[in-house]
Structure 1
């Protein structure tokens, strides 16, 4: 797949491209901004080095698109204005699918079309790789985001009732270590 997918132009003043290792510092900053927005800033433990190791080795654990401003005509500099992090999963009922882990556009850049283009790019990946669906979660209080996704055609599967009978469980690292050593 090419670095910049070829299905229509990026929003004016931006390019949407695959993240590169040198983007990791900026991505960590945006992860922290997103976590602060969600009231979870104290939970962020990821580092630039860990992100680089996990996303850009021989077997990446995630993939990422970034929205980068076109270089300023006077300074020649550009900034990352958003990112979308995803990975592949498998559903034993339907097969492979994409999971969007994080999606963020800097507040000053919202409304510019960047968010739509980032979601469009991950949808293109899903189509190209024959995924059966693309899933993500949205905080119940984030009505603006829910409206955005629904406008793009996403279906709230909670409303459909698919997940009302399920609970989300996890093992943290100490729990995994304890279980693994039994």
Structure 2
């Protein structure tokens, strides 16, 4: 590893990272979407609207600008634990494999995540990608699709009716949350935890939500539904980024029992989709526990695909302890 330098990516690296993405796609007998270019990558990774962080492995023996690998991740949020990170891509050129490059890219990313105050890091792997599964398991990640039965879903914005409206009772407004709403959102997060028989799971509070969302923070945004002056639902989301370009992750949503079955969930999703389109996004991502059949039915009714069942995609997770252990490992 002495011949390889791991550093945070610069905007000038975008074209080379994109070339490595193309190389990876060729190896996997697939292709990048036609709309995905190195300019799109640069827009997502640097500048005032950046949602991505990246690290690269630069070989000291190679020509200037040549890279041995990269890792891409974006900010995420866990409503019970707070700040999180989501690894979206990791690639090492064939000549540099089995030399520790991938491990050190992961550890450098974990160090950055810990320094940002993240408490969780997720990633997705195909169940037949044994090399990657072995790598991340050795680094401390747990396959929570196996242990907890989480499933990953995907839904294209174009499959949704963007102008869906709520048809419930009372004077109701869906709007972006402001700091003053976060106490009410925290109450509903706790109600959802109670519903899922995990009452002790939430480890954050309203103050955490305020500091991690606009205007103070950039880890998530939130829509709230207000009926006659009272909050009756929320939808927490954040932008995602991968070779498909921008998307939106619907991390969490909840509607109080008295307002269910009246279209509020659909209206939340439509609002987030419109928000994503303005960003240049094209799709939703979300994860659901397999026992939550009402939510799964709701998503499938909208046209969502279960990537875990249909494509063999597994969800892996570094918890806080695993993240810190990986980040603190001694580099030789």
Pick the aligned partner of 2:202 from 28, 40, 44: 44
Cα shift at 1:7: 4.3
- Aligned partner of 2:235 in structure 1 is 84
Output the CA distance in 1 between the equivalents of 2:216 and 2:178: 14
Between Structure 1 and Structure 2, the one with more strand by share is 2
**Runs of 4 or more consecutive aligned structure 1 residues displaced over 3 Å after TM superposition:** 6-12
Cα shift at 1:176: 2.6
Output the CA distance in 1 between the equivalents of 2:292 and 2:320: 29
Pick the aligned partner of 1:66 from 224, 230, 241: 224
Output the CA distance in 1 between the equivalents of 2:262 and 2:173: 12
| Higher deviation after alignment, 151-160 or 108-117 | 151-160
1:134 equivalent to 2:275? Answer no
Cα shift at 1:131: 1.3
Change (3 A) 1:169 1:39: same
Unaligned runs of 5+ in 2: 1-161
Structure whose alpha-carbon radius of gyration is higher = 2
Alignment of 1:86-165 (within 5 A): 86-91=237-242, 93-163=243-313
CA contact (8 A) 2:237 2:248 kept: yes
- Aligned partner of 1:11 in structure 2 is 167
1:177 equivalent to 2:328? Answer no
Cα shift at 1:59: 3.9
Number of aligned residue pairs: 166
Change (3 A) 1:61 1:178: same
Change (3 A) 1:162 1:124: farther
CA contact (8 A) 2:165 2:263 kept: no
Unaligned runs of 5+ in 1: 1-5, 72-77
Change (3 A) 1:8 1:156: closer
Change (3 A) 1:171 1:139: closer
- Superposed CA offset, 1:86-125 (max 9, x none): 011211x312211111011111110122111111111112
Alignment of 1:26-41 (within 5 A): 26-41=184-199
Cα shift at 1:172: 2.6
Output the CA distance in 1 between the equivalents of 2:306 and 2:271: 20
Change (3 A) 1:142 1:173: closer
Change (3 A) 1:56 1:43: same
- Superposed CA offset, 1:28-51 (max 9, x none): 011111111122221111101011
